[in-house]
Amino acid sequence: MAFDLTIKIGGEGGEGVISAGDFLTESAARAGYYVVNFKSFPAEIKGGYAQSTIRVSNKKLYTTGDGFDILCCFNGEAYEFNRKHLRPGTVLVYDSSDFEPEEHEGVVMYPVPLSHLAKDIMKAYITKNVIALGVLCGLFDIPVQSIKDSIKAKFLRKGQEIIELNYKALETGINYVRENIKKLDGYLFPPAKEPKDVVIMEGNQAIAKGAVVAGCKFYAAYPITPATTVGNYIVEDLIRVGGWLYQAEDEIASLGMALGASFAGVKAMTATSGPGLCLMTEFISYAGMTELPIVIVDVQRVGPATGMPTKHEQGDLYHAIYSGHGEIPRAVLAPTNVEESFYLTVEAFNLAEKYQIPVIVLTDASLSLRAEAFPTPKVKDIKVINRWVYNAEDDPEGKFRRAGRFLRYALFTEDGITPMGVPGDPNAIHAITGLERQENSDPRNRPDIRTWQMDKRFKKMEKLLREDAEKFYEMDAPFEKADIGIISWGLTASATKEAVERLRSKGRKINALYPKLLWPLRVDILENFAKSCRRIIMPESNYSGQLATVLRAETRIRPISYCIYRGEPFIPREIEEFIEYVLENSYIEEGKFTPANLYGEKAYGLI
């Protein structure tokens, strides 16, 4: 039986809303369900509204869905924020010792005096969130044992007394339901299955783990929301594999340091968000020119300028693809979910090392905070590529040396890739410079040398397209000729997948393409896909439809853009409704649309 339930918990920051969500997420994974969790908290240090949305299912999940089935409000503010989404069929569990909600047509309401139970029965206000979990267990048959296991694991270090206190809080919630509440809704967790071998990671955590698996040994950090947590997650892991994280004085320095480490022979990375990426631009150019492998993670947030630091947008694509002075060989990768954040980070290092180029990983604020359970990666099975380090023994004829000088930028290799000399090796002493230069690194302005060196650098990109690009195009095109073809990237692709599934189950003929490599582009793959569709729709969370614009420039595809830029990601229903809209309006062949085109002024109150 299909089981798919979304629980949203809201309350005051600091009341344990987020950790209650984390308990639920871990318990669900432990009990063998698929689970996705999205949390958001205020930009303030303390207080403000915090929420956690947990979707649990027995089938693979792409998003936290369109809304929620069950809303659990720890206070009146959480209710005020969410009341407009209480539609018939949803359930409201609320702290009746804090506030009394209005009547809502078709909404089942369960008043529970959470604060009273915590303060007067448990005599410990901090247990309010676990009491609430108990209430949810009692109401919806959430496997109690798996919650208990999560509590035990979390508080193991704090001692048996704390564990017992929390068990008691859980029981208090369960008992309250048993003694006082008559169940009026139909939501129930099915019995727990055999637990799967999974890990639970947040987006930024997956990037950190991926980097360590790829062999990263140096990370230069400068704090910026929402990228900072990549550093928080990697710092101790990095030390445990013999590496180091250095907190730089600014973003310029952090990329400079990472490039220094890379020159010294060590795999290095940095992570930042839009404003930081702007500062790094000159060094991105330098990395391309000097052919230093480097991974730069850009956790996109709403711009321009300081924009909305904690909110989602896909607004940095142009910057990732085009930024920098001159023309720079580079690759841009964009994961669509947490699991891919892990694997694509490994791939980013592989591409950087193989082609000696800067590789930018584009994620976003929402993906950075989203947690997912996914099959445990097996490190042994993950392919890790290391750079070509010069070894004089492999070069008995001295091809890569001329007049005693190492030819770091030799022009005779077919693919433009030349071995790197690592300090300490007497046979590979060389200079690197951002100036155009001869094969032996001497700066030169000659037209022929300039042309050959440009060709050398861009030959690497041709090889990348030939050998590595195809696997980054996730194709889901079952129809020989579909009515609609969807191309979407990043977190939007996750919402799109769900929309596509729903539409197909209604009989709509839709093909989909999810590119994870956004630069360079395999034009042939994109155009062939477009040929299999009557019209192409591209949902993106940015104002101008950035990937659509890039495709208009680079391919013959003429897409219909659907753009939102409110600081929140798409929900599947929005994409579903837009596709239906395009299907109904056959005259629409290309152009740019926003929710206002569909809903008029109502669009502003949609979410």
Bond preceding residue 539 cis, omega within 30 of 0 = no
Q: How far is the CB of 413 from another protein (least distance, A)?
A: 22
Nearest residue (CB) to another protein, 123 versus 157: 157
- Radius of gyration for the alpha carbons in the chain, expressed in angstroms and rounded: 26
Candidate residues 29, 61, 91, 192; the one interacting with another protein per rule CB under 8 A: 29
Strand, helix or coil at 543? coil
Size of the site for another protein (CB under 8 A): 75
Q: How far is the CB of 596 from another protein (least distance, A)?
A: 42
Return the residue matching tokens 């360590």.
212
Pairing relation of β-strands 70-73 and 91-95?
parallel
In Å, how far are 200, 274, 333, 344, 345 from 216, measured between CA atoms? Answer: 21, 23, 17, 14, 10
Alpha helices in 356-411 (DSSP H): 365-369
Which tokens is 130 given?
Answer: 């676990």
- With CA atoms as reference, report the closest residue to 63 among 9, 16, 3, 4: 4
Nearest residue (CB) to another protein, 167 versus 286: 286
Nearest residue (CB) to another protein, 74 versus 218: 218
Strand, helix or coil at 51? strand
Candidate residues 282, 395, 415, 474; the one interacting with another protein per rule CB under 8 A: 282
Nearest residue (CB) to another protein, 440 versus 546: 440
- Site mask, another protein, residues 104-123, x = CB under 8 A? --------------------
Candidate residues 38, 110, 283, 355; the one interacting with another protein per rule CB under 8 A: 283
Nearest residue (CB) to another protein, 145 versus 586: 145
**Which 8-state DSSP code applies to residue 502?**
H
Nearest residue (CB) to another protein, 12 versus 353: 353
Nearest residue (CB) to another protein, 184 versus 241: 241
The Cα–Cα gap between 379 and 556 comes to: 40
**Which 8-state DSSP code applies to residue 332?**
E
The Cα–Cα gap between 170 and 144 comes to: 9
Nearest residue (CB) to another protein, 371 versus 500: 371
- With CA atoms as reference, report the closest residue to 593 among 529, 546, 547, 544: 544
In angstroms, how far is CA 535 from the centroid of its own chain? Answer: 28
Q: By CB under 8 A, what part of segment 177-196 binds another protein?
A: 195
The Cα–Cα gap between 265 and 259 comes to: 10
- Site mask, another protein, residues 209-248, x = CB under 8 A? x--xx---xx-x---------------xx-xxxx-x-x-x
154 binds another protein (CB under 8 A): yes
- With CA atoms as reference, report the closest residue to 39 among 20, 62, 60, 58: 20
Of 150-158, 305-313, 549-557, 575-583, the window that binds another protein (rule: CB under 8 A) is 150-158
Q: How far is the CB of 209 from another protein (least distance, A)?
A: 6
200 binds another protein (CB under 8 A): yes
Q: By CB under 8 A, what part of segment 376-435 binds another protein?
A: 376-380, 403, 405, 421, 423-426, 428-435
Nearest residue (CB) to another protein, 115 versus 262: 262
Q: By CB under 8 A, what part of segment 440-499 binds another protein?
A: 441-443
The Cα–Cα gap between 392 and 400 comes to: 9
Candidate residues 102, 105, 197, 584; the one interacting with another protein per rule CB under 8 A: 197
Max distance between CA atoms of the chain, in angstroms, equals 90
5 binds another protein (CB under 8 A): no
Per the CB < 8 A criterion, the answer to whether 112 and 175 are in contact is: no
Of 86-94, 146-154, 447-455, 541-549, the window that binds another protein (rule: CB under 8 A) is 146-154
268 binds another protein (CB under 8 A): yes
